[in-house]
Amino acid sequence: MKLNPEKTLSEIAALIGARYHGEHDFIVSGINEIHKVEKGDITFVDHPKYYKKALESAASTVIINKEVACPEGKALVFSESPFCDYVKLVKHFRPFCKSDLPISEKALVGEGTIIQPGVFIGNNVIIGKNCIIHSNVSIYDHSIIGDNVIIHANTVIGGDAYYFKKQKAGHYDKLESCGRVVIHDDVEIGCLCTIDKGVSGDTVIGQGTKFDNHVQIGHDTVIGRNCLIGNGSMLAGVSVVEDDVIIWAGVSVQKDLVIGRGAIILALSGVSKNVPADKTYFGIPADEHIQKWRELAALRKLPEILKNSKS
């Protein structure tokens, strides 16, 4: 999430009551968790395993729970609970804003767009021209939808990311979401789909992509142009699906994976590793389909092999 206007290091530290190392007027231009950081962003780290990754990341400012040397060109904010202080910043700069109307007065809806009964459109939503939003669709705050988009009944756009941190006391604290969903032109989303907003960046659906019903897209996932996503498929957070990919029904995709351009994932597969471009994958765990079918053929012969080995 970008800050508009930008803030200084001293202003950020004052909001959470923390000490800092760096010039007081050092600029903080965005808030991002570690997977999405860019230059100018502030992020957090609270585990020794990830200190090096955070300090060497693109982030310009790091909230950290250890006294360490400040990398050149960066700033540090010292905190006993970086996670909690990061959440405080998110809530400060993007607080939940109640809406009392089915279509917020702060939403922008383009010319020729049809809104069916029962639709909710939140604050600061932008919807382009000539869209059709069918009944009982919910579009959360800050979502961006392009032109000629069709969203079918009971779909939810922009729900919070499923992102929790287990605390020593045994409970889970939520990493509050401040990202968006961005849907480009000519996309069609089926009934009862859910597309979660990014934790701090954008979940993106590329131009011309089509979803069947009951599709779940996790936070910060980026789907390219002209993809087909089949009924009941589930893509975990921070996945990347490149252009022209076909994912058939009932496919599960693990987090942080890349499915290469033009790849095809056959129905009911479970993807647990990156998929190269222009390959067809099948099975659980998914592998190249010819190899997987050979394995299945071999398994069918196993009872006969075992029987003959005993005789």
> Which residues are tagged catalytic?
219
CB 78 within 8 A of CB 19: yes
Number of CB atoms found within 10 A of residue 152's CB: 21
CA gap 108, 129 in Å, rounded: 10
What is the DSSP code string of 65-82?
SS--PPPTT-EEEE-S-H
Query: What is the three-class DSSP state of 8?
Result: strand
Residue showing tokens 């809806």: 109
CA gap 58, 240 in Å, rounded: 20
- Sequence-distant (6+) residues with CB within 8 A of 246 are 227, 228, 263, 264, 265
What is the DSSP code string of 229-279?
E-TT-EE-TT-EE-TT-EE-TT-EE-TT-EE-TT-EE-TT-EE-S-B-TT-
